[in-house]
């Protein structure tokens, strides 16, 4: 739904690909950029090459630049830090590749179904309340209210994105959780955003809800599920360990705010 035009610098000293992120610009109220890949081949010479990228984002009026790097890319991480970037989090992509072999039976059965347009407002409101351990909330340069708005907008966009669907989990008629789902392959699902309603944590509720959605996927013939979570969210990290997900090596997330602290528009 969003057009991305990738830019590239490819020299003997520096290889970098980058683009504007229109999905976040609407939330922040100013242009946002993403470095999608980075390779520093000659640190001394890369400084001047990186100035080309800096000139680009200054002309665009970019207020936030983010980058994710494989955890072992310490040269690139150090290079970005020398350019004013700050470490924010480790990002994990836990995965479960054998749903058909798992025992997902539960004595308490929760209702899982596709969300409809009538659910959009309530799910968006929920999303604006439950993500306290995200990179937008923990970056001291970003107003935490922008993080709340970002996840509300994420839900509104998902309802209009043909490549995403939204599952809801109900208990006694009340929506207690939502899952924004992508299907990169017929037997694979990626949970791009997952939330449990405020006050519903504890007493094993999260485990039962997640298992119910995993059963839903297994029943539709899915074998592999993955998601994305922040190292800042320890409670959810422990949940995925308990559910039997495997954790590949993480990525390092870095931010740079070229124009200073970012405040919520209006």
Give the range of the structural domain holding residue 14, as residue numbers without chain letter. Answer: 7-91+252-256
Q: Which helix (H) or strand (E) holds 121?
A: helix 120-130
Shared domain for 170 and 120, answered yes or no, is yes
What total number of domains does the chain contain? 2
Q: Is residue 266 part of a domain?
A: no
Sheet with strand 14-20: strands edge to edge:
7-10, 14-20, 32-40, 64-70, 251-256, 86-92, 229-230
pTM higher than 0.85 for the full model?
Answer: yes
| Model confidence at 102: pLDDT above 90 | no
Specify whether the CB–CB gap between 86 and 255 falls below 8 A.
Answer: yes
DSSP classification of residue 249: P
| Model confidence at 212: pLDDT above 60 | yes
Shared domain for 38 and 149, answered yes or no, is no
Shared domain for 119 and 73, answered yes or no, is no
The pair of structure tokens assigned to 191 is: 């949970």
Shared domain for 84 and 107, answered yes or no, is no
Q: Please, what's the largest Cα pairwise distance for the chain?
A: 63
Q: Which helix (H) or strand (E) holds 157?
A: helix 144-158
- Mean pLDDT of the 106-116 span: 82
| Model confidence at 1: pLDDT above 70 | no
| Model confidence at 34: pLDDT above 80 | yes
Shared domain for 165 and 51, answered yes or no, is no
> Does 198 or 265 have the greater pLDDT score?
198
* CATH code where residue 40 lies: 3.40.630.30
């Amino acid at each position: 739904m969003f057009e991305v035009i990738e830019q590239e610098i490819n020299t003997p000293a520096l290889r970098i690909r980058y683009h504007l992120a229109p999905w976040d610009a609407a939330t922040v109220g100013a242009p946002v950029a993403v470095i999608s890949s980075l390779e520093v081949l000659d640190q001394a010479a890369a400084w001047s090459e990186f100035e080309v990228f800096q000139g680009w984002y200054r002309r665009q009026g970019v207020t936030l630049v983010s980058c994710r790097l494989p955890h072992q890319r310490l040269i690139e991480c150090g290079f970005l830090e020398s350019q004013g970037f700050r470490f924010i989090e480790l990002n994990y992509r836990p995965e479960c590749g054998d749903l058909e072999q798992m025992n997902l039976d539960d004595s308490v059965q929760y209702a899982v179904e596709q969300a409809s347009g009538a659910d959009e407002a309530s799910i968006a409101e929920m999303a604006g309340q439950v993500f306290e351990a995200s990179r937008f909330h923990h970056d001291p340069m970003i107003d935490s209210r922008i993080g709340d708005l970002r996840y509300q907008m994420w839900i509104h966009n998902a309802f209009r994105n043909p490549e995403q669907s939204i599952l809801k989990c109900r208990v006694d008629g009340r929506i207690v959780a939502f899952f924004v789902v992508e299907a990169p392959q017929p037997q694979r699902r990626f949970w791009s955003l997952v939330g449990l309603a405020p006050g519903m944590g504890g007493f094993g509720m999260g485990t039962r809800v997640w298992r119910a959605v995993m059963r839903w996927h297994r029943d539709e013939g899915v074998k592999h599920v993955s998601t994305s979570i922040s190292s800042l969210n320890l409670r959810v990290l422990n949940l995925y360990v308990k559910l039997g997900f495997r954790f590949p090596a993480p990525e390092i997330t870095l931010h740079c705010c070229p124009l200073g602290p970012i405040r919520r528009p209006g």
